[in-house]
Amino acid sequence: MKRLMIGLVFLLGGCATPAPPMPSVPLPPQAPPGEPAGLIGLPQANIRGFFGTPAFVRTENGAEIWRYDGAQCRAFFFFYPKGASLVVRHVETVPRGAEIAADPNCLAALRGHPPAS
């Protein structure tokens, strides 16, 4: 009976279809309004030098998202390929203003924040 159950599991597993790959979304040619000055286009090494080790990193479809956590806010850096490296294409903070993607006060506070362990 045990062998029959194992066989059925493998048989049914072979019938499952894999999920289709996620489509890639083209990036806008320029950063949207409200992006923080001086960060767009920087490579990962520069961001790590400014902000330390991110609290969280997510990699998906060749892009990466880095999250930095502070006492009053969080910042998200979105890296996309440019040549052989990944560079910042978008930055967001939570909370943020209505007309801006990233609050400069949050980013300034995070630059003084000790790196995540």
What pLDDT sits at residue 36? 84
All domains of the chain, ordered by start, with CATH?
A: 35-117 (3.30.1450)
pLDDT tens-digit map of 18-40: 656 656 656 555 655 678 888 99
Two tokens at 54?
A: 């991110």
Q: With cut-offs at 50, 70 and 90, classify the pLDDT of residue 99.
A: confident
CA-to-CA distance for 53 and 70, rounded, in angstroms? 13
65: Cβ contacts below 8 Å, ≥ 6 apart: 56, 57, 58, 76, 77, 78, 79
What's the token pair of residue 112? 């003084």
Q: What pLDDT sits at residue 68?
A: 97
Joined tokens for residue 104: 């400069």
Q: What is the DSSP letter of 43?
A: B
pLDDT in tens, 46-82: 999 999 999 999 999 999 999 999 999 999 999 999 9
Cis, bond preceding 32 (omega within 30 deg of 0): no
State residue 48's pLDDT score: 96
